[in-house]
A = this chain, B = another copy of it.
Amino acid sequence: MTLKDDVKTVCAWAPASLSNLGPGFDTLGVAISGIGDRVTVRRTRSESIVVIVDGPSKLPTEPRSNTASVAGLKVLELAGVEGGIRVELEKGIPFGSGLGGSAASAAAGALATNALIGFPLDEPGLAEATLAGETVASGSTHGDNAIPSLVGGVILVDAASPATYRTVQPGHEIFFAIVVPELHVETSIARRMLPAEVPLSDAVRNASSLAWLTESIRDGDIDLLGRMIMRDVIVEPVRAALIPCYDVIKSAALEAGAPGCALSGSGPAIFAVSGNAEQAERVTAAMDRACREAGFGCLALTSTIDPVGARIEESNQ
């Protein structure tokens, strides 16, 4: 390691994501525009270090526990590069929001590190590194946040092999009205609450709904999309019970004209879909109001699909 290596830095940004999208537990996610995490990486002689430059104090700073550094270190490992990394993490995504913050940090960390060492990994390698980061945060390997954050767009992940994925090209622009109530849902706890077994009829129904959901995205049928994201009979009913203001926010979204509304990931983020920007803004306002009237502060935003995913913002070499 030379002094020159030490001053070279790469900064990458990766978008937040909505995951599950109703019946798409662990398999369907979308990168969203306008909100994301920023990671700046430089190489170190041996020990790695994580510095939270902007974010809550409860974020892990141990390099083997922070998703950005785990993903970066995985890039080094896959590329066969020795040494460590210094990772500066700037959180734009609220901690524990259900907007895929851990995944976005991992995607940005992986991409920045790969750039830092001359891009030895291709996209599958970056996906593997990003998933490694995501896994350390959530306690399970699921790609429906990690892959959208990395590659952008609407992504169908193979639940049996999370590094395998494909893009579902939407036939119509999709807008999202999003509210994140100020309450915390721990992803790993939310996962443990899920039933070990489900009725066969529910499994059949969810499978059918997911296929209809991807078809509706392809066809750009936003009304059908809205109905289908509300058809999860397995995961969301369990998770929604953890979020006291969920029902009123969902009702407000539907009353304001949204075709559908669901939890993102394990929540507390709640999103509604819309086929036009104006309606989405109106729905966001209604959800925001309902959340505050229910006694919870919140972050509210209107977003759309981020088609790019993680990108290099700055490279000082």
**A residues near B, CB below 8 A?**
23-28, 156-160, 166, 168, 194-200, 202-215, 218, 231, 234
Contacts and interface: CB of A to CB of B under 8 A. Distances in A.
In this complex, which of A196, A206, A207, A231 has the most chain B Cβ atoms within 10 angstroms of its Cβ? A207
A159 B205 contact: yes
B24 A211 contact: yes
B27 A200 contact: no
B200 A168 contact: no
A215 B218 CA distance: 9
**How many copies, total?**
2
B200 A199 contact: no
Contacts of A206: 203, 207
A157 B203 contact: no
Contact of A231 (B160, B208, B209): B160
A205 B207 CA distance: 9
A208 B208 contact: no
Nearest to A26: B204
A218 to B, nearest CB: 7
In this complex, which of A26, A202, A204, A215 has the most chain B Cβ atoms within 10 angstroms of its Cβ? A204
Contact of A157 (B28, B156, B208, B234): B208
A211 B144 CA distance: 14
A24 B207 CA distance: 8
Contacts of A205: 159-160
B208 A200 contact: no
A209 B160 contact: yes
Contacts of A168: 215
9 contacts: A160-B205, A160-B208, A160-B209, A197-B197, A198-B200, A198-B203, A202-B203, A207-B210, A218-B218
Given A156-B208, A160-B208, 17 more contacts: A23-B207, A24-B207, A25-B207, A27-B204, A28-B211, A158-B208, A159-B204, A159-B207, A196-B200, A197-B198, A197-B200, A198-B200, A203-B207, A207-B207, A207-B211, A210-B210, A211-B211
Given A197-B198, A198-B200, A234-B203, A211 B208 contact: no
Contact of A210 (B196, B200, B211): B211
A26 B208 contact: yes
A218 B219 CA distance: 11
A209 B27 CA distance: 10
A17 to B, nearest CB: 17
Contacts of A208: 26-27, 156-160, 210
A211 B160 CA distance: 13
A233 to B, nearest CB: 9
